[in-house]
Amino acid sequence: MKSPFPFIFIVLSCLIISSCQKEFSDPNARPPHVYDADALRFIDSIGISDTTQRFAIDEFVSQLKDSSLWLKFKAIYPMVGGSASTAKWNLKDPRDLDSAYRLTFNGSAVFASTGVLFPTVSDYADTHLIDNTLAGSNNNSIAYYSRTQNTISGYDMGCSDSKSPWNEFSIYHGSDATNWFGFFALGIQSANTVGLFMLSCTPGDVKRYDNGIVTDAKGSAPTATFTNLPILIGSVVNAPLVGQRECGLASIGNGLTDSEALTFYNIVQNFETALGR
C-alpha cells in the first residue's frame, strides 16, 4: 500500500503558500500610476525622479488636454528642476534641438526649484521661436508666470525694443509697457506682479490678461506684423531694462478666447500649487 504522506505533504505545502500570499498581499494597494504619453516623454527627457514633480507635470498635461487647450500651444516651458539642463525643455516637443524650441540660456540666469530669474539685460532664454512662425499676427499668444512681487519697470518677454513692430511685453512698466501686434499699452502699473500674465491676439482684438482677467484691449483687430526675431524670455533684444521677475512658466501658442485664457490661468495655478511654489 502506498504511503499517504507525500500527498498530505503536497496539500499542506499548498495551504501554507496560499496562506502566505494572503498574509503579505495588500488589499489596499493601488495599481501603478499610468502617465500621459506626452507628459512621460517630457519627464524622461529631463530625467525627473521626484514624485511630486512627475505627478504635477502629468496632471498639468491632462488638464490641458481635457480642456482642449493642449493643441493651442507651440511651446510650454514649466521651468522645473532647478538647473539650466532641466529648465530648458519644451513640454510640447522635448527634443534637445533649436527646431524643437528648446531654450538656450544666455548670461547668468539664476536657477532654483521655484523657477528661473533673469537679473540683468544680458540674462535671458532664447526660445528659437521666431515671431513670424506663429499661427499668424491675428492668432497668437505669449504668457509669463511671474513669482516675484516688485514694481521694477522692465521687459519680461518678447522680441525687440529696437526693431518695429517690437512685439515686447512687460508685466510692470512705468512708461513703455507693451507693444504687441498693434496693441500699445502705455505705463502699465499693476499692483500685483505675481501670477500668469498673457497677451493674446485673435481676429477681432489684442488683449492683455492678468491672472485670467482682461485688463486692457486694443479694441480692434491686430494691425502690426512681425519682427522676424526670436521670442526671448526674461528680456528682449536691446532691452534698456528688465523686470527681474522669476519665471515659473512661459508659453507661446495660438490666440485664446476670454474663457480659454481664464481656464489656462487656473490650470497653470494648479500646476504651480502642486509643485509647492
For the chain (277 residues), the mean pLDDT of every run of 10, in chain order, is 50 48 54 92 96 97 98 98 97 98 98 98 98 97 98 97 96 90 90 97 98 97 97 97 97 98 98 97
2 burial (CB, 10 Å; 0-12 / 13-18 / 19+) is exposed
How confident is the model at residue 186, as a pLDDT?
83
* CATH topology assigned to domain 71-257: Jelly Rolls (2.60.120)
Q: pTM for this one?
A: 0.89
Written as one letter, the residue type at 179 is N
Whole-number Å distance between alpha carbons of 268 and 230: 24
The DSSP call for residue 216 is E
The greatest distance separating any two alpha carbons of the chain, rounded to the nearest whole angstrom, comes to 106
CA dihedral 168, 149, 55, 93 (to 10 degrees): 10
How confident is the model at residue 164, as a pLDDT?
95
How confident is the model at residue 33, as a pLDDT?
86
Whole-number Å distance between alpha carbons of 237 and 124: 10
Alpha helices by DSSP H, listed for 67-115, are: 84-87
- Can you give the residue ranges of every domain in the chain? 71-257
